[in-house]
Amino acid sequence: MINLELPKKIEDTRSLLRRFSRDGLRPLSRKYDLLEQKEMPQELYELSKLLGMGGNRPAAKAEAAAKGENINGGNLSMVVASAELCWGDVGLFLALPSIGLGNAAVSAVATPEQKAEWGDLFAAMAITEPGAGSDSAAIRTTAVLDGDDYVLNGTKIFVTDGYRSKQVVVWASLDLAMGKAAIKSFLVPKGTPGMTVTRVEHKLGIRSSDTAQIVLENCRVPKANLLGNPEIAKTADARKKAFGGVMQTFDNTRPMVAAQAVGLARAALDLTLELLQAKGIELDFAKGYHQMSALENDLYELEAEYETARLLVLKAAWMADNGQPNSKNASMSKAKAGRMGNQVALKCVEICGQLGYSKAHLLEKFARDSKIIDIYEGTQQIQQLIVARQVLGKSSSELK
């Protein structure tokens, strides 16, 4: 039996975060949008302490699985939290110290000992390179073993929180000739000699979150900083599984990024309805289709698109919590929600006209913030390609 209601514990947290977003983040939105990274939002540090929702402990999961129970753990908690905080402000959400995308990489592939040592992180994730955009397997940053250290060399671009983070998870190849099987991730603390933030981007949206370029020049990190298994798989099947383990990071983070679009779309819809109500326009869901105005029809369609994306996100996160392969569902949720968030925000600006385009309200900011969610963590085209491979049973070499 399918239960589409959130568990009480998660619903209580959602309500708390909605209040914080309304009273804590929204009043800061315009301030830090205009400052554009010149100041770290200091107000966010206390909030980050509230986000340790847990629920994903291995012992608890094993016990629930043995009983045949559904597990509503850390992934479901985080997508709900992400949506609520992005209802407040996507850029400020990304600036939270506990939200770094590198944290998800540690959770996905680090050993139990590494997780115990690095559990409390503010880690960015450095994957994209000037010559390797959405194709993660095409990266050219190298990691060469030299004694007890790996020596990293390469350039990473579009690193979210790359400037403010305390650590960076860097994707690099142990052997370029071995292809994607040799790609590993390394935790590099800020301040490590040889790692330099060379540029901070000026952006259309999420301006309160920094996006950086990082250059690695003979950057040495201990062998223990390689996340997961250091061995390069020998057989073709083993290599495929090895890279699949690395890509598991995205199976965890893509629903969370999709949830950002869900939260932003809800914010745009709520503000639009509020502005229309102030003009004496209210929706009446009891009306028949033939009785609707064009405006009402548009709003009902936007609500339906929002609800579709929301349910896809919740399913992908639930599958991750319950140990079910969710790569296809994670990409489906990201593709649908990313597109939906941008379409909803732009349509809300259009519906509200001058009020939507003016900086007197946050709708124009929601529209600017929405576009990046459809791009980062895998573009719309990449997500559709992944889904197609899964549906058709094709490998990445067979379907490009």
Residues assigned a catalytic role:
377
Q: What is the CA radius of gyration of the chain?
A: 21
The residue length of the chain stands at: 400
CA atoms of 56 and 65, how far apart (whole Å): 12
CA atoms of 376 and 379, how far apart (whole Å): 6
Q: Of 148, 141, 138, give the one whose Cα is nearest residue 168.
A: 141
Q: Are strands 149-160 and 211-222 parallel, antiparallel or unpaired?
A: antiparallel
Six-digit token string for 52: 């340790």
CA distances to 148, 219, 265, 366 from 339, rounded to whole Å, are: 46, 38, 10, 14
